[in-house]
Amino acid sequence: MKRGVRLYVPLCALAVLWGGCGWAVAAPASPPPFSAAEQLQRMAIAANTLSFEGTLVYLHRNRAETLFLHHRVEGGRVNERLVSMTGPVRTVTREEGEVTCTLPNSHPISVKRHGVAQDLLRSEPLDARRLAGHYRIVSLGVARVAGRTTDALGIIPRDAFRYGYRFYLDRETGLPLKTDLMGTDAEPLEQVMFTSIELTGPTSAAPTVAKAAAEETTATHQPGESRWHFEQLPEGFELLMHQDGDDELQPVEHFLLSDGLAAVSVYVEPDSGAGLEGETRIGAIHAIGGLVAEHRVTAVGEVPAATVAAVLAGIRFDGRGATQ
């Protein structure tokens, strides 16, 4: 289960990221043809209905990596293949419900994903109304990326418990051609940008923005039963999903918390004397682990360190049999 988190990080990071200094992008041109809410919905619709392939540059800590992404949609199913073009050959393949990572001189490792995790992987539409309580959503002007006109959209956090994002959305299709994950100091933490992109093959029938909004409003995810619950979470974070640990070989419970954009996974397992103790980080990913009621609890997410620390401090074991 924990291995799955590590494997998902590169693919998740490549769904967002790239930039300059601060939040400013360019002098505003004419107003964008879509509202902020419509742009967020168009971004998700494009990712789930358009087939394309292209070359990306990934920047992190002054290191650059070139990747090739093949994204195909057939019958409403999304399939992706991401291949590193520099350094050792590494491949990440995403198909419906499963992520497979292939490393040099090793067997492929597959991770099943279910429920909310699968929805997040497919970039479901972001709810601008829900985000508004904890982020400011602003137009940042117009820029050219990969030879195409994009509208830059900033999602700026209102506190230090979440990162910000800067999406450069292709005006014609809505695809995010360039994205920044912004730190609490308004500087990019991780960055990805298409240097070339080509639409390929027929597209699936794209739902209208209005239909996407209606589906988003009616979709709900019910957490399962658990003897664990959370108190005093960072403002805006809610429990979206719970998977119990019935597997005798890997009795790990998984909780997914989100504010509608940022997400934190919490893993709970019987203490075996091993596991993360204290804090660690990999790029923008922070994790913290400790013992709670004789169980090893690990919280990990693409959020600031203060957020995973607050989540760990808020988990409680009470044996009541219901997740709250």
Return all residues near 210 (Cβ < 8 A) that are at least 6 apart.
none
Please indicate, yes or no, if residue 95 is contained in any of the structural domains. Answer: yes
For residue 152, being part of any structural domain is answered with yes
HEC-encoded secondary structure of 68-131: EEEEEEECCEEEEEEEECCCCCCEEEEECCEEEEECCCCCCEEEECCHHHHHHHCCCCCCHHHH
Per-residue confidence (pLDDT) for residue 4, from 0 to 100: 37
Task: Confirm whether 106 is domain-assigned.
Answer: yes
Among 162, 186, 217, identify where a domain stops.
217
Q: Looking at the structure, do residues 182 and 286 belong to the same domain, yes or no?
A: no
CATH number, domain of 34, equals: 2.50.20.10
Residue 322 within any structural domain of the chain: no
Same domain? For 192 and 261 the reply is: no
Q: Which residues pair with 218 in a beta bridge?
A: none
Alpha carbon of 199 to those of 17, 53, 78, 92: distances in Å?
20, 7, 15, 20
pTM, whole model, 2 decimals?
Answer: 0.78
Q: Six-digit token pair at 25?
A: 């992008």
Q: How far apart are CA 296 and CA 299, in angstroms?
A: 10
Same domain, 197 and 163: yes
Q: Which domain holds residue 267?
A: 221-317
Claim to verify: residue 151 and residue 10 sit in the same structural domain = yes
> Domain with 269 in it: what CATH number?
3.30.200.100
Note whether 78 and 98 are same-domain residues. yes
Residues 179 and 238 occupy one common structural domain: no
Same domain, 282 and 137: no
Do residues 22 and 164 both lie within one domain? yes
Based on the fold, state whether residues 139 and 52 are members of the same structural domain: yes
Longest dimension (CA), the chain: 60
Instruction: Please return the burial class of 133, using the count of CB atoms within 10 Å of its CB with bins 0-12, 13-18 and 19+.
Output: exposed
What CA–CA distance (Å, rounded) separates 237 from 249?
Answer: 31
Length in residues, the chain? 324
- SS3 call for 4: helix
Looking up tokens 């909780």 gives: 255
Shared-domain flag, residues 48 and 176: yes
203 in a structural domain:
yes
> Which of these three, 189, 217, 245, is where a domain ends?
217
User: Which of these three, 191, 217, 243, is where a domain ends?
Assistant: 217
Q: Are 254 and 193 in the same domain? A: no
Domain contains 22: yes
Determine, yes or no, domain membership for 323.
no
pLDDT at 272: 85
The total number of structural domains that make up the chain: 2
Q: What confidence score (pLDDT) does residue 78 get?
A: 87
pLDDT digit of tens for each residue in the chain (324 aa)? 443 333 333 434 443 333 334 666 655 556 678 898 999 999 999 988 999 999 999 998 888 999 999 999 988 888 889 999 988 888 888 887 677 888 777 666 655 554 334 333 335 678 999 999 999 999 999 999 999 999 999 999 999 999 999 999 999 999 999 999 999 888 899 999 999 999 986 654 444 554 444 444 434 455 567 889 999 999 999 999 998 866 666 688 999 999 999 999 999 999 988 888 999 998 899 999 999 999 999 999 999 999 999 999 999 998 654 444
Neighbouring C-beta atoms of residue 318, cutoff 10 Å? 12
- Both 209 and 292 in one domain: the answer is no
160 belongs to a structural domain: yes
Measured CA to CA, the distance from residue 94 to residue 8 in angstroms comes to 10
